[in-house]
A and B are shown apart, each in its own frame.
Chain A
Amino acid sequence: MKSKRLLLLAIAVVAAGAALAAGLGSSSSNAAPRATARVAVVTDIGGLNDKGFNHLAYVGLQRAQSKLGVDGRVFITNTAEDRLPNLRSAAQQGYGLVIGVGFLMFDPLDKLAPAVPNTKFAGVDVPYALLASKPANVRGLVFKEQEAGYLVGYIAGLEIKRHPYKGKQVVSGVGANKVPAIIHFLTGYAAGAKKANPKVTVLINYANDPTFADQAKCKVTTQNQISRGSGVVFEAAGQCGLGGLTAAKQSGVWGIGVDADQSFLGPHILTSATKKVDVAVYQTIQAYAQNPDGFTGGSDQVFSVKNGAVGYGKLSPKLSKADRAYILARVSNIAKQIASGKIVPPSGT
């Protein structure tokens, strides 16, 4: 019995000792010299390895660290409660530019930015119009996804015109869920396909997967479209779309990737509608690093074909030389017209 009591006592002593040791002294972060720009990226829920948004933002930060020599740090958001404290912590630790990733950063940015006017903020996919307090130190980083959608739609339309699938000219697009970015992609896609080939039929369906991760859902939706004669399927659906691209491979039809250049998935990937979050993050950091005081908020910075942040990825090696040359010549011309404003793809919102 004595031994049990002793054990308890020992535990209490150890616990108290640990608490004391932890309490003593302080861990003040030593401030880095002000010479180098200090930039923080605050990711949203999903982790750094999500192969999407958070990952690309981190890649942009890492590139800025190596190429521009900025002092960078990433703050990972694990829970909804984390968003605001992460942004605030970054500001308090002296990071001059704090980039929040993901649409849901709009609310904490809206609340925090007026309280720390000397810190600059940017929000990836956060339209400035959503910020009710209209803070002057927040810049929205938004993408014209419809331009990327238009370009890959154009490619799909050309390909199906030259090589109809089972005698039909049908292309299709799958969205994970009805959110702005996805609507933009798909609306642009449909318009681009029609532009290349007025005779084409475009099928658009949503897999209704708000997690953007349920591959089975996109697979079923895609198989359904293929059975209706679609010869090219565009997956505007994050990881969900990987299931759809697998279905395309199995059925021997073309798949089109999204966000990153997904040509690494195999030769069945006709091309990809790229949305280069890493480029946007890098360019934003670059602008800040070159002139921190001149970096202004109060509006959106739009990333488009014009500044190279959206576009189309590599064409499939499976295309014949003639097809490739035919497509490239035409689509690069369309891209130029979009960049110059001659063609304005519809966004659908």
Chain B
Amino acid sequence: MTDDELDPDLEDVVAEERVEELDSEPEARSGADYAPSVAERLAFYQRAGGIVTPILTALLAFFVGGLVVLATTGKNPLATYRAIFDGTGLNWLFPWVSGTERSLAALNLQQTLLIATPLILTGLAVAFAFRCGMFNIGGNGQYIVGAITAVWIGSSLNGLPGWLHILVAVVAAAVAGGMWAGIAGFLKASIGAHEVITTIMLNWIAVWVGSYLVGFGGPLQDKAQISAPVTKSVAPDAHLPVFWGSAVLQGLHVGFFIAIGALAVYWIMINRTTLGYEVRAVGFNPEAARYGGISVARNYFLAMAISGAFAGLAGSMDILGWQFHLDLTTVQISSIGFTGIAVALLGRNTAVGTFLAGILFAALLNGTSTRNLDPSVFKPELAGNLTRIIQGLVVLFVGADLLILYLWQWRRKLRLGRPRAVTGQ
């Protein structure tokens, strides 16, 4: 497909979006004679849509969520959203908020960012695999493996100096998460086992091995409390420093900056390295990539392993940042890796998008907690479900807008009098 096949209206769109893109992502293409390939153009549409559609998606989800509020409580949804917004602590950013309200906002914002930290990282774990054309549903298992590794290293090796202890624990957790996901990558690369199946299976293996280790008399269970399903605590010198709020009472730890650093690493890896180029090439079209001399198998493995490393890192942040020990309940019912899928979907697998989506979901989780909602307006039985409703709506609409993109392309092809090529997908 060449440029002159596009109708003028559409070309205008492309030009416009290109300007938009310059603002959001410094990945500018230059030169008047630049002719994008089909794959690039598809990616381009997705990214162009990636500015408008996530915002629309989120707004639509909130709107429908508001209708749910209206239907279930009969109260003004705006008041509820206002309470949720205050609960997220984002009002801390407004300079006119002062006094006790400001200190309360600070506490809330610390919690929001504390939750955002692992969400951003598990979001990256999903996004990186997506870029290679794979769907990593195993973020949760990789997160658990990372958490187990971090609590193991953090509660042993006590002779090390603090910074080294942290470094060893964090790196080991990332490596462990990477190896865990690498199994799925290896299976896909070698025998073609679908990663959706293998990562889901690996999730359960991680849950049950983890349950044994921390709760069924396994080696990590605290021997001082034989019957309690909890591990030993991480040594105080291996705690991540807290830079905002109380170090004892779950203040915001430096893991937040590590997550931002991971976003930068992700962006550089995807956009500025050979590895990232190959990963994207395989993601666009494995056959074409293979024809171009790229080892598809190698990239499948590496992309999964790197994905897993992000999720493993997330696990270590939670353990070393605020939890300091691992209990059976957390191993069994943690769902942070699954929320990471929603984060990556809404963030359109970009670094900036993942950051914003991570903050949004963390804000939702924290803001809709019953402690932030007036029980007379919002029954405690209902409040906890609002988060899930809005999360579900976001995922639903994200799926729907991809559908719209496809339909849109299909319609265009019909108008051009061509056979329908896209519907075959």
Interface residues of A (CB under 8 A from B): 1, 4-5, 7-8, 11, 14-15, 18-19, 21-23, 26-29, 44-45, 47-49, 73-76, 78-82, 84-86, 88-90, 92, 103-104, 107, 111-112, 115, 130, 177-180, 183, 208, 210-211, 349
Count how many pairs of residues, one from A and one from B, have CB atoms less than 8 Å apart in the complex: 130
Which residues of chain A come closer than 8 Å to B81, judged between CB atoms? 18, 22
Interface flag for B381 (CB, 8 Å): yes
The closest CB in chain B to the CB of A12 belongs to B55
The interface residues of chain A lying within 8 Å CB-to-CB of B76 are: none
Q: Which residues of A lie under 8 Å from residue B83 when comparing CB positions?
A: 27
CB of B16 within 8 A of CB of A88, answer no
B212 to chain A, nearest CB (A): 10
**Which of B86, B211, B216 meets A27, CB within 8 Å?**
B86
Q: B residues 353-402 with Cβ under 8 Å of A?
A: 365-366, 369-372, 374-375, 380-381, 383-384, 387
Do A1 and B13 touch across chains, with their CB atoms under 8 A apart? yes
Check: B101 CB closer than 8 A to any chain A CB. Answer: yes
A22 — which chain B residues lie within 8 A by C-beta? Answer: 81-82, 85-86, 91
Closest 7 CB pairs of A and B: A89-B371, A22-B85, A23-B94, A180-B227, A76-B370, A84-B250, A26-B101
Residues 320-347 of B contacting A (Cβ, < 8 Å): 322-323, 325, 327-330, 332-334
A76, B383: Cβ atoms under 8 Å? yes
* Inter-chain contacts of A76 with B (CB < 8 A): 369-370, 380, 383-384
Verify B332–A26 contact, CB threshold 8 A. Answer: no
Contact between chains at A73 and B375 (CB < 8 Å): yes
B178 within 8 A of A: no
**Which has the most chain B C-beta neighbours within 10 Å: A4, A48, A80?**
A80
Contact of A111 among B82, B226, B249, B372 (CB under 8 A): B249
Interface string of B213-238 (1 = CB under 8 A from A): 00111000000011111100000000
Cβ-defined contact, B227 with A80, below 8 A: no
A19–B329 CA distance with the chains assembled, in angstroms: 37
Q: Which residues in chain B, 1-33, are within 8 Å of chain A measured between CB atoms? A: 9, 12-13, 16
Q: Please name the residue on chain A nearest to B229 by beta carbon.
A: A179
Q: Which of B107-115, B151-159, B169-177, B260-268 contacts A (4 or more CB under 8 A)?
A: B107-115
B contact residues around A1 at 8 Å (CB): 9, 12-13, 16
- Cβ A179 vs Cβ B227 within 8 A: yes
A183 contacts which chain B residues (CB < 8 A)? 227
Q: Given A23-B96, A74-B380, is A210 in contact with B215 using a C-beta cutoff of 8 Å?
A: yes
Nearest-CB distance from B311 to chain A (Å)?
Answer: 17
A45 and B329 contacting across the interface, CB-CB below 8 Å: yes
CB of B246 within 8 A of chain A?
A: yes
Annotate B123-167 by CB proximity to A: 1 below 8 A, 0 otherwise. Answer: 000000000000000000000000000000000000000000000
Partner of A210, one of B86, B211, B366: B211
A211 and B332 alpha carbons, distance in the complex (Å):
7
Q: Contact between B228 and A179 (Cβ–Cβ < 8 Å)?
A: yes
20 A-B residue pairings within 8 Å (CB atoms): A1-B12, A1-B16, A4-B16, A11-B56, A11-B59, A22-B91, A26-B97, A27-B83, A81-B365, A85-B107, A86-B371, A88-B249, A103-B228, A104-B329, A115-B249, A130-B225, A130-B228, A180-B227, A180-B228, A210-B211
* A48 and B379 alpha carbons, distance in the complex (Å): 11
Contact B370 A75 (CB under 8 A): yes
A29–B86 Cα gap in the complex (Å)? 12
Given contacts A81-B365, A86-B371, A89-B371, 5 further A-B contacts (CB under 8 A): A8-B52, A21-B78, A26-B101, A44-B329, A74-B380
A48 touches B381 (CB 8 A): yes
Nearest-CB residue, chain A, relative to B96: A23
| B residues less than 8 Å from A75 (CB atoms) | 370-371, 380
The answer to whether residues A23 and B91 also contact, given A75-B370, A79-B365, A210-B215 and a CB cut-off of 8 A, is yes
Shortest CB-to-CB span from A24 to chain B, Å, is 8
One of A5, A74, A92, A178 near B370 (C-beta < 8 A): A74
Q: Which chain B residues border A349 with CB–CB below 8 Å?
A: 226-227
Contact indicator B369/A74 (Cβ below 8 Å): no
Contact between A81 and B115, CB atoms less than 8 A apart = yes
Q: Please classify the interface of chain A as helix (H, G, I), strand (E, B), loop, or mixed, using the class held by over half of its residues.
A: helix
Query: Assuming A22-B82, A179-B229, A183-B227, is B104 touching A92 (CB within 8 A)?
Result: yes
Q: Tell me the minimal C-beta distance from B283 to chain A in angstroms.
A: 28
**B114 and chain A: residue at smallest CB distance:** A81
C-alpha gap A28/B100 in the complex (Å) = 9
- Distance of B422 from chain A, by nearest CB (Å): 22
Known: A48-B380, A178-B216. A78 touches B369 (CB 8 A): yes
Residues of B within 8 A of A88 (CB): 107, 249
Beta-carbon contact of B375 and A11 below 8 Å: no
Instruction: Specify which chain B residues have a CB less than 8 angstroms from the CB of A130 in the assembled complex.
Output: 225, 228
Which residues of chain B (27-75) have a CB below 8 Å from chain A? Answer: 52, 55-56, 59
* Residues of A close to B421: CB separation below 8 A: none
Q: How far is the CB of B21 from chain A (nearest CB, A)?
A: 13
Q: Are B246 and A80 in contact (CB under 8 A)?
A: no
Cα distance, A28 to B86, chains bound together (Å)? 11
**B380 close to A90 (CB less than 8 A):** no
- Chain B residues lying within 8 Å of A5, measured Cβ to Cβ, are 16
Complex interface: chain A residues within 8 A of B374 (CB): 29
Chain A residues near B114 (CB-CB < 8 A): 81
**How far, in angstroms, from A26 to B104 measured CA to CA in the complex?**
11
Distance in angstroms from A210 CB to nearest chain B CB is 5
Name the residue of chain B whose CB is nearest to the CB of A348. B227
Q: Within the complex, what minimum Cβ distance (angstroms) separates A282 from chain B?
A: 18
Q: Is B370 a contact partner of A112 (Cβ separation < 8 A)?
A: no
Query: Complex Cα distance A11/B12, Å?
Result: 21
Determine the chain B residues whose CB is within 8 A of the CB of A112 once the complex forms: 249
A325 smallest CB distance to B (angstroms) = 39
With A1-B12, A22-B91, A78-B387 as known contacts, state yes or no: A111 contacts B248, CB within 8 Å: yes
Closest to A41 in B: B380
Determine how close the nearest CB of chain A comes to the CB of B233; give it in whole angstroms: 9
CA distance A211 to B329 in the complex (A): 8
A5 to B13, CA, bound (A): 10
Closest chain-B Cβ to A20's Cβ sits at a distance in Å of 9
Query: CA of A259 to CA of B56 in the docked complex: distance in angstroms?
Result: 48
- The residue of chain B having its C-beta at the shortest distance from the C-beta of A5 within the complex is B16
Residues of A within 8 A of B107 (CB): 85, 88
- Give every chain A residue within 8 A of B227 (Cβ-Cβ): 178-180, 183, 349
Residues in chain A near residue B97, CB distance under 8 A: 23, 26
CB distance from B143 to the nearest CB of A (A): 12
Cross-chain contact B249 with A45 (CB below 8 angstroms): no
Q: For the complex, what is the distance from the CA of A178 to the CA of B211, rounded to whole Å?
A: 12
Closest A residue to B226 using CB positions: A349
Bound together, the chains give a CA A44 to CA B380 distance in angstroms of 13
CB nearest neighbor in B for A93 = B371
Q: Name which residue of chain B comes closest to A14, CB basis.
A: B59
